[in-house]
Amino acid sequence: MPRGNKPPSQRQLRVGEELRHAIANVIERGEFRDPDLQGRPITITEVRVGPDLRNATVFVVPLGGGDVAPILAGLKRAKAFLRHEISRSVQLRAVPDLWFQSDATFDEASRIEALLRSPEVRRDIEAPVPEEFPSDADDGE
């Protein structure tokens, strides 16, 4: 039975949060030798762990915006180092394989906010609602 529609289990969420903290600590220490990662502030927004805890997708965004492609390439090259550091700080039977992806939730939130502030939507929100049912006070009795 496919788990595609099931929400993540408590264990998946807990392991994902532990991995997020461990990866963020390694990035904060700045021990990377990769030129695409040195001195670059990176935010780890979320880590989603698969049901078998063998794969983890790490969502990243550069702090303050900017091009995420070189950061993703650098993290991919530093995957073995990150897994080694995670194994030292998180107690797991096996450290999951890490996959890095750009987090688009901030861009999506900005797009929705811009839509809500647009004149067309503001006009619809502030328009008076037509009264479908007259109130009892209008009966004239």
> What pTM did the predictor assign?
0.73
Cβ 46 vs Cβ 88: under 8 Å: no
CB 50 within 8 A of CB 56: yes
pLDDT (tens, 9 = 90+) of the chain, 141 residues, equals 455 678 888 999 999 999 999 999 998 888 888 888 887 888 899 999 999 999 999 999 988 777 888 989 999 999 999 999 999 989 888 899 999 998 887 777 778 888 778 887 777 777 666 676 555 555 554
- pLDDT recorded at residue 1: 43
Residue type, 107: D
Q: Which two tokens stand for residue 49?
A: 């762990």
Q: Are 16 and 47 in contact (CB under 8 A)?
A: yes
Q: What is the pLDDT of residue 15?
A: 93
